[in-house]
Chains A and B, each alone.
Chain A
Amino acid sequence: MVANTMSNVTTDVRSRKIAAVGPYLKSFSIVIVFVVISAFFAVANEYFMTWLNWVNLLRQSSINGILAIGVTFVILTKGIDLSVGSVMALAGMIAASLVTSTNQHFVLWAILAGAGTGAALGLVNGVIVTSFNVPPFVATLGMLSMARGMTLIFSDGRPVPNLSESFRWIGGGSVAGVPVPVLILFLVFAIGWIVLSYTTFGRYVYAVGGNEKAARTSGISTRTVVASTYVISGLLAGLAGLVLTSRTTAALPQAGIGYELDAIAAVVIGGTSLAGGRGSLVGTLFGALIIGTINNGMDLMGVSSYYQQLLKGAIIIVAVMLDQFRK
């Protein structure tokens, strides 16, 4: 026992050091990156640091942020959801069809229909992944195409314009100077954070992603947990679709193309591991803010959108490289 105790003392000291520095470094580093990027743009452009610009920046980041929060749940279980861009288009389209000048319903029905569409498509993803053992990449890639197809069929390839004023408030309104989309983002973040940190479901999400077999042996219904994350991702994609449609004041059949990539980028920049089991919503939120800041800052500096694409890709890779380096 002496040998054991002694050797454990040495490992203890070592792990204590890691334990003490690790989490702080982890949660701070993303904030530091955010501050550095912001400082750079603040120096480069005087308008960047104004209140108006920040409100604008937050509003621009809100849709990606909402999507990314949903995708974080899926990625934590070692999955991926490529369908969110298409799902948001279909959800937005269905919601919009209920609030046009010719077919005007109460706005709540539109919201429920949009969110419900997202959740339903998410459930389909979840069932395909868990019950039929289709790899998440393939299942959601299929859904990416199917949801886009359904959007085009439903709309006959035409936009749905003339949305009711109350519906347009979701994307364009504001409460006490804060845009509604930003409020929705923070609300979604707060709920998501509580779910992941304080509920058994949140624990199970991390456990299933960390080691599915161990989770199953511990008596967790791993299928239900995994399928639920796709429902959450779909639901939030539906919500993001409502915000997008409302902001553009018309449902466009080609809306949301490529949005899944920005959402996944935000999750990855935020430090959530694609291998599952590690990550946080705080990271994802800042990941989305970093992407938003880069877009916004470069717009202000008049950088051409061609270069913006190039730089954004490079920044994503560098962010993850730094993360690997730190490990």
Chain B
Amino acid sequence: MRSLSGAGAEARDDAAIGLHDQPLLVAEGIAKSFNGVPALRDGRLTVKRGTVHALCGGNGAGKSTFLNIVMGLLHRDEGSIRIEGVPVDFRSAADALRHGVAIITQELSPVPEMTVAENIYLGREPKIGGLLVDFPKMRRTAKQLLDDLEFDVPVDACMRDLSLAQVQLVEIAKALSYRADIVIMDEPTSAIGEHEVHILFNALKRIKARGSGIVYVSHKLTEIFEIADEYTVFRDGRFIESGPISSIDRNHLVTQIVGHEIKTVEKGQPNEGAPILLEVRSLSRGSHFKNISVNVAAGEILGIYGLLGSGRTEFLETVYGIHAPSEGEVFLDGKRVDPGNPKKCIRQGMAMVPEDRKDVGLVLCGSIAHNIALSSLALRAVSGFVRRKAEAAATDRMMRLNRIKAASPHVAVETLSGGNQQKVVFARCLLTNPRLLICDEPTRGIDEGSKQEIYAFLREFAAKGNGVLVVSSEAPEILQISDRIAVFRQGRLEHVVDGRETSQQMLTDLAS
């Protein structure tokens, strides 16, 4: 062992030479088909001790199938998995956990009525005499765990009272409490803000210094370059390449994920004399946001940037009429918008792509056609009856226009990939012929290829003289698409900056 320049370096050196030369996890030639259709043809992954290994790939690249196989949730058709040289074949997630493999998924599963400590130790509560739950001990260990990770979550709080980000942190703490050797994180940051991401990454650094291996799955490339030591790319169910992250750049990674080079979308030239499309006059809503005045010109994309809890989502929802404002007014094309009525907002020319497509965006069990037509049904109906032919033609057009890939318009939306689901939401919005599109995190959980498609679409939409109001928690995204950026902080509009003259650093500084 060489000089001790730091805990992380020590662990890494440890892995490189000496006893732990053996990789923690080696998976080779993993294949899996569903009903004869291969979802994964050749999955490979080698995770070394003390590293964060990014597993990258577009939606449907086979990452989830691969991880489910590693966790024992699915049974592989072919291939081998070895943990520290020993072949394994897990039968369930519990089985995997016993062997030191833990997973943190996107799907949160808290028991809302229980406290943080009770949730962390659910099903393995410390007991007194094997019968009674030892609550003081449970509290103590839970507090210790959260303190060690530097997660700022009170152990006695009810899960129901926590923010989404805090719930996510608790779930992460729970998985880590198993002291697993291999921790798999599937999009752990999709629901949390930049501040929490920072805390999480610090925790990851400590875990990896302990000698654990972390498999990190995320569509956010910025994060991957920040936290990962190594990377592996899957595409079309196959292993593509692997190596240290320091040896590649962002472009290379995107190209490997997508399979060809992507052109980033160019910004339009803002038209100085363009008329005002949306005018928001000193809008307030309770404690969520106060006195916000902002305009969107025809042809403009206005980005809203702010941390979680800055009031950005509530602001969008109030403009769209989901909530009634406590003060202030909204004008579209010079006409006052009836507050608190999404139906009238749609009729006046607004449309909204909400933050969580599964929770508020789509009727998952409904068909593609029914989802696309949902907002515009009433606009087209004749005395209450659906005009089926017109509807079929319109959905058909929208599916082609938005390149929604599906067997038929009658397939349930829940069977589509994330990117295609989001395109269905866009299609529904467009069918009402909006002048103003309001997007809340339009690319969350979507692969890089689809992201660029959505950016291009937004740009094209604006270029036709329409307006776009978009919220994103990813600074590079906001910078890429916005003409102007409104920075929100604690419910107030702090600055409005020019999208072309702002750096990522500036933006994050202004917001925090």
Contacts and interface: CB of A to CB of B under 8 A. Distances in A.
22 contacts: A3-B258, A3-B449, A4-B60, A4-B258, A7-B58, A7-B59, A8-B420, A11-B60, A18-B411, A200-B377, A200-B381, A202-B386, A203-B373, A207-B370, A207-B374, A211-B359, A213-B359, A214-B362, A214-B363, A217-B322, A217-B354, A218-B375
Interface size class of B (residues with CB under 8 A): 35 or more
A199 B383 CA distance: 9
A7 B61 contact: yes
A277 B34 CA distance: 27
Interface in B33-57: 34-35, 37-39, 57
A45 interface: no
Greatest chain B CB density within 10 A among A2, A3, A18 is at A3
Nearest to A276: B365
Contacts of B98: none
Given A7-B417, A200-B377, 20 more contacts: A1-B449, A3-B60, A9-B405, A13-B37, A14-B37, A19-B411, A198-B386, A200-B378, A200-B384, A203-B374, A207-B366, A210-B365, A211-B364, A215-B363, A218-B375, A219-B343, A219-B347, A277-B363, A277-B366, A278-B365
A203 B395 CA distance: 15
A202 B411 CA distance: 19
B464 interface: no
Contacts of B366: 206-207, 210, 277
B447 A4 contact: yes
B312 interface: no
B2 interface: no
Interface string B393-412: 00000000000011110110
Contacts of A15: 406-407, 411, 415-416
A217 B360 contact: yes
Contacts of A5: 405
A16 interface: yes
A217 B370 contact: no
Contacts, number: 155
Given A4-B419, A200-B381, A210 B364 contact: yes
B235 interface: yes
B235 A3 contact: yes
Contacts of A221: 343
Contacts of A218: 342, 346, 374-375, 428
A6 B406 CA distance: 12
Contacts of A211: 359-360, 362-364
B96 interface: no
Interface string B58-73: 1111100000000000
A158 interface: no
Contacts of B416: 11, 15
A8 B360 contact: no
A2 B260 contact: yes
A1 B59 CA distance: 11
B386 A200 contact: yes
A133 interface: no
A203 B363 CA distance: 11
Given A218-B375, A278-B365, A3 B407 contact: no
Greatest chain B CB density within 10 A among A9, A19, A218, A277 is at A218
Contacts of B58: 3-4, 7
Contacts of B432: 219
A213 B363 CA distance: 9
B385 A198 contact: yes
Contacts of A214: 354, 360-363, 374
B365 A2 contact: no
A18 B343 contact: no
B385 to A, nearest CB: 5
The SS class assigned to the B binding surface is: loop
Contacts of B388: 198
A215 B342 CA distance: 10
A17 interface: yes
Contact of B342 (A9, A206, A219): A219
Interface string A214-234: 111111110000000000000
B345 interface: yes
A299 interface: no
B259 interface: yes
A7 B432 CA distance: 30
Nearest to A194: B385
A47 interface: no
A10 B405 contact: no
Contacts of B118: none
B172 interface: no
A216 B375 CA distance: 9
Interface string A187-207: 000000000001111111011
A210 B412 CA distance: 11
B236 interface: yes
B508 to A, nearest CB: 30
B364 A215 contact: no
Contacts of B373: 203
Nearest to A206: B366
A12 B406 contact: yes
Contacts of B449: 1, 3-4
A41 B219 CA distance: 60
Interface string A268-285: 000000000110000000
A228 to B, nearest CB: 12
B481 interface: no
- For the complex of A and B, list the 6 residue pairs with the smallest distance between their C-beta atoms, beginning with the closest: A7-B60, A210-B363, A16-B407, A2-B259, A8-B405, A213-B360
A277 to B, nearest CB: 5
A206 B363 contact: yes
Nearest to B428: A218
A14 B414 CA distance: 13
A199 B363 contact: no
Greatest chain A CB density within 10 A among B58, B373, B419 is at B58
Contacts of B381: 199-200
Contacts of B38: 10
Given A7-B417, A210-B366, A217 B385 contact: no
A16 B410 CA distance: 10
B101 interface: no
Contacts of A210: 363-366
A18 B258 contact: no
B237 interface: yes
Nearest to B384: A199
Contacts of B405: 5, 8-9, 11-12
Contact of B365 (A216, A217, A277): A277
Contact of A3 (B57, B352, B410): B57
Nearest to A207: B363
A11 B58 CA distance: 13
Given A11-B417, A200-B378, A210-B366, A4 B407 contact: no
A219 B346 contact: yes
A264 to B, nearest CB: 20
B16 to A, nearest CB: 32
Contacts of B386: 198-200, 202-203
A207 B35 CA distance: 30
Contact of A10 (B60, B346, B352, B378): B60
Contacts of B37: 10, 13-14
B450 interface: yes
Contacts of A9: 405
A90 B377 CA distance: 38
Contacts of A14: 34-35, 37, 415
